[in-house]
Amino acid sequence: MPANLPPQYYELEREFKREQDPTEKLRLAQELLAMMPKHKGTDKLQAELKAKISKLKLQIEGGQKKHGARHPETHDHIEREGAGQVILIGPPNSGKSSILGVLTHAHPLITDYPFSTVEPVTGMMIFETVQIQLIDTPSIAREFFESYLLNLIRQVNVVMLIVDTTSVDMESEIRVVFKMLEDKHIRLVPVIPNVIEDPRFAYQKTIIVAHKSFEDDNEKNIGILKANYPHFQILQTTILDDKTMNSLKKMIFDSLGIIRVFTKKVGHEVVFEDPIVLPVGGTVEDAAMTIHKDFAQKLQFAKVWGHGKFEGQKVKSSFVLNDRDIIEFHI
């Protein structure tokens, strides 16, 4: 029985054979297995690929035990905390660590020389009543790229590309970042497409931070940035101005596509703390499910307060909520 493998499979297989890094080779093998049609004609191929995957996992685990200081197991996966996970990437000296230090209580190493960040550093950013996890990462350049970054970038909700608008090489530095990730089957996009054209690629929503924007005569670079990436959200920032940092916090929150819903007990005032976080379009039932499945099943109706609503408007479980709505459950 013929395997009937798609053309993309053979292209990815060639890349798998060329790849030398075990972690990246493992990812490619897993993508090949996911792409492979599942029928009798591919049973042997599936078995061979699964054996290669097992061998690569053992190789990686052994390498981590032997060289743990250089490639700790936690580098390519960071447990998600808060309402969302956002990764900071960019060329050398773009200001990633400085931004993380200002937006969170983290203490990354901040220097004037490139490649000072050698492993990921996390921090929790608070936007109003919501905590969002930020991850600072090593720089991306033609001569320097940490392979574990690929898994980190794939797992996050949003990518934040930091660029230094004072750099004379800004344009080429950004092209390098896009190309190196594209070569590893990651596409940075302003919006995740509804239809994925090429299943070999991971599409990651990306916002662009035009950093150090008010620290030098860099209007030309900012104009180039807006002209080359017209569909991306671009925000001009500087750590010398709190207003731009607050705008960046809001931009990060908005990019996650989430809403905050506050609950109140019957007969009590609302306390604007610890909101329920839902994706945009979340319903009363979705909010109830975050408390407990049984609670949602017993829910009879809810009352909602919010912008453009009647005070204490009685709604059904299918009612779509908005950011900062107040909800009172009745069971």
pLDDT, position 19: 81
pLDDT below 70 — which residues of the chain? Answer: 1-3, 63-74, 108-117
pLDDT, position 71: 39
pLDDT, position 117: 63
pLDDT, position 331: 86
Q: Tens digit of pLDDT for each residue in 190-209?
A: 999 988 878 788 999 999 99
Cβ neighbors of 171 (< 8 A, separation 6 or more) are 221, 224, 228
Name the residue among 219, 143, 149 with its Cα closest to residue 188: 149
Name the residue among 2, 28, 23 with its Cα closest to residue 13: 28
Detail the DSSP E strand segments found in 239-315: 258-263, 276-279, 301-305, 313-315
Exposure class string for 243-267: b at 16+ Cβ within 10 A, else e:
ebeeebbebbbebbebbbbbbbeee
pTM of the model: 0.77
Q: Tens digit of pLDDT for each residue in 100-152?
A: 999 998 776 655 555 556 789 999 999 998 999 999 999 999 888 888 899 89
Cα 183 → chain centroid:
19
User: Domains along the chain?
Assistant: 7-66 (no CATH), 75-255 (3.40.50.300), 258-330 (3.10.20.30)
pLDDT, position 22: 81
